[in-house]
Structure 1
Amino acid sequence: MKEGRIKYFVAAFSAVIVWGFFSIPLRMLRDYPADQILYYRIFTSLILTWLYILLFRKKQVKSDIKYVQEQDKFSRKKILWLNLLAGLLITGNWFTFIYAVNNVNLKSAAFAYMVCPLITAMGGFFILKEKLTSTKLLALGLASISILVLAQGSLIDVLWSILIAALYSFYLIIQRVIHSIDRFNMLGLHLFIASVLMIPFFIYEFQSFPTGLSFWLTILVISIFFTIIPLFLSLYALIGMPSSTLGIIIYINPIVAFAVAFFYFHEGISVSQLYSYSLLLLAVIVFNWVTLKEMIIKLPSRNKPVTSS
């Protein structure tokens, strides 16, 4: 891997590790309806993102507008419709995930991010024509075995997981197609689209604003640390890596989420679950073995002391 590409790899890992801890603040809001959490998460994220864009990223906004204006009519329509679809997909993903954590169970939400990499990798292969080496196919095989073992439980849980996963997988695939627009500005656009989609439902269901300070502090934490930062990191990572690679790195998410469920929420663990998650971790290592090996080789050379001749 070229040295410049390592930053995209680190960004992808950072994003999925952070998302693995998302259930902690989300469980603090389990007394609130999933749609209400979603509304305030999106609106708060929108305000914070566009405040930052208007203060510090006006130059990038002008550059993106100029780029779109320079495209032909077909390309402009393509950019518009893909961004609208991306906003719809990420909104659906957020709602189904929040609902699953607070109304189904945490494991079904975590299981979604086990299915997601397979859908993303296969989508990247068939739709974007991304290459899959024999080693990567082996990793996908290991992951598939792990998923089959864990899928022996409730069919409803599995269906929820597939829905959550599919929404995010196709969101990632779209980001690989829209590659010439600034990633942070794109995030702001998707949050704007999500807000427009949610406003009619928000107005229809509105009764009163939550008054608890803990609610707003938790929403603020979710907006900054579990929405804006990791979503930007994942979009940034797609600049320098295939969607299939980011998809397989997402397997770190359910591993962290499972650890949180076991160590923090004290949910039970079975031998088959332990085996399956260990197999998942092995799949991540195998899929990214070339990248990891090159990073390990580079680290000692960077840390060598400079000696004078």
Structure 2
Amino acid sequence: MQTEEKNGVIIVVVAYVLWGFMPIYWKLLADVSSDEILISRVIWSFVFTLFVVLVGRNFKVLISDLKDLWNNQKAFWSLFLAAYLVTGNWFTYIYAVNSGYIVQTSLGYYINPLISVLLGIIFLKERLSKAQKLAVLIAAIGVIILTISYGEIPWISLILALTFAFYGLIKKSLTIDALRGLTIETLFVFPVALIYFGYLAWADKAAFFHSDTVIVLLLIFTGVATAVPLVLFAKGTKAMPLYMSGFFQYIAPTLMLLIGIFMYGEQFSKIEFISFSLIWLALILFTVSKIMEVRKNR
């Protein structure tokens, strides 16, 4: 493996490990409402990414990106929709973690790649091999078993998987730098977040003004916690094959699952173990077949 590719692998693994441990960060903010954590994440992500753009002397490039997007109305409104999809994903994730559903968030991010596959078939006319079709079927059986055992549809998992899969589909069609793209995405949501934060402050409900220094700093650093893994991921994937980064994406939900069970004592019954085992089997089958397919094409 070449040095550049090795560095890419290390950077991507670090990004997924950071995402995997993120539930611990949100748990530290358990006394803050999910909506305030979300708007803090939007506001401080915009501030942080804009700061990095300014330090990197890329502000003119950012303005150029905005002009290009506005001249291509389809791309502009696609990114606008993507911004609100990922915001919905963030809110669901934060709410789930602080409500004791870390295992369900893990399931959502395991299901996400398989839903992305289905979206690729529907919207991008991509084709699957027999092994990949079997993998999707096995995963579907796992989700169905889990749904029956819960007695209700695992909405948190499905919302997380669907919003992020559609977000990924939209982003796939846009060619924009990850950091500047995130800056523009958070800019789209920033005014709404600022207005809502103003309402919380006016109603004297903003924890930001009534909490100790640690909580205030944690709220401010939600921007860093959001942007750093994304930038690392974008940088790392450029130096390694796509199928390889796909294989590493299961690090994050696996860590979430282990954290939910062993750190926060969430339930993980035999039925859940069987369901997750089917999904793991499907993911291994899908990933291996994809690697073999890439090597064959080479």
Return the TM-score normalized by structure 1: 0.78
Deviation by residue 1:15-38 (Cα, 9 ceiling, x = unmatched): 444322221111121111100111
Asked whether the 8 Å contact 2:112–2:162 carries over to 1, the reply is: yes
Q: Which residue pairs with 1:204 in the alignment?
A: 199
Superposed, 1:238-253 pairs within 5 Å as 250-253=249-252
Q: Which residue pairs with 2:86 in the alignment?
A: 90
C-alpha distance in 2 between matches for 1:7 and 1:110: 27
Deviation by residue 1:142-185 (Cα, 9 ceiling, x = unmatched): 32232223223445561232222221111111110002x21211
C-alpha distance in 2 between matches for 1:126 and 1:5: 32
Q: Which residue pairs with 1:266 in the alignment?
A: 265
Deviation by residue 1:104-149 (Cα, 9 ceiling, x = unmatched): 6223322322332232211122112334333322332332232223
Deviation by residue 1:194-224 (Cα, 9 ceiling, x = unmatched): 2123222222232242431221333355432
Q: 1:98 to 1:121 in 2, by over 3 A?
A: same
* Identical pairs, percent: 27
Q: Which residue pairs with 2:23 in the alignment?
A: 23
C-alpha distance in 2 between matches for 1:102 and 1:15: 22
C-alpha distance in 2 between matches for 1:36 and 1:164: 19
SS at match of 1:130: coil
Aligned residues: 289
Asked whether the 8 Å contact 2:15–2:229 carries over to 1, the reply is: yes
Q: Which residue pairs with 2:274 in the alignment?
A: 275
Return the TM-score normalized by structure 2: 0.80
Deviation by residue 1:250-276 (Cα, 9 ceiling, x = unmatched): 544332211111222233332232333
Asked whether the 8 Å contact 1:183–1:235 carries over to 2, the reply is: yes
C-alpha distance in 2 between matches for 1:5 and 1:286: 24
C-alpha distance in 2 between matches for 1:125 and 1:4: 32
C-alpha distance in 1 between matches for 2:156 and 2:260: 18
Residue 145, structure 1, aligned to residue 145, structure 2? no
Residue 190, structure 1, aligned to residue 189, structure 2? no
C-alpha distance in 2 between matches for 1:122 and 1:150: 20
C-alpha distance in 1 between matches for 2:268 and 2:161: 23
The correspondence for 2:118, drawn from 113, 116, 122, is: 122
Superposed, 1:31-180 pairs within 5 Å as 31-58=31-58, 61-63=59-61, 65-66=63-64, 73=71, 76-103=72-99, 105-154=101-150, 158-179=154-175
Q: 1:198 to 1:220 in 2, by over 3 A?
A: closer
Q: Which amino acid aligns with 1:109?
A: T
Deviation by residue 1:242-301 (Cα, 9 ceiling, x = unmatched): 7x9977865443322111112222333322323333333333332222676799xxxxxx
**Which is further off, 99-108 or 38-47?**
99-108
Shift of 1:11: 5.8
Deviation by residue 1:56-98 (Cα, 9 ceiling, x = unmatched): 141xx5446546757894xx11221111111111111111211
Residue 287, structure 1, aligned to residue 286, structure 2? yes
Q: Which amino acid aligns with 1:184?
A: L
Q: 1:152 to 1:229 in 2, by over 3 A?
A: farther
Q: 1:210 to 1:79 in 2, by over 3 A?
A: farther
Q: Which amino acid aligns with 1:266?
A: G
Q: 1:205 to 1:220 in 2, by over 3 A?
A: closer
> Runs of 5+ in structure 1 lacking a partner?
296-309
Asked whether the 8 Å contact 2:101–2:266 carries over to 1, the reply is: no
CA RMSD between the two structures: 3.6
C-alpha distance in 1 between matches for 2:8 and 2:264: 32
SS at match of 1:20: helix
Q: Which residue pairs with 1:224 in the alignment?
A: 224
Q: 1:255 to 1:91 in 2, by over 3 A?
A: same
Q: Which amino acid aligns with 1:116?
A: N
SS at match of 1:288: helix
> Runs of 5+ in structure 2 lacking a partner?
none
SS at match of 1:30: coil
Q: 1:203 to 1:110 in 2, by over 3 A?
A: same
C-alpha distance in 2 between matches for 1:131 and 1:16: 28
C-alpha distance in 2 between matches for 1:102 and 1:255: 18
Asked whether the 8 Å contact 1:9–1:241 carries over to 2, the reply is: no
Q: Which residue pairs with 1:298 in the alignment?
A: none
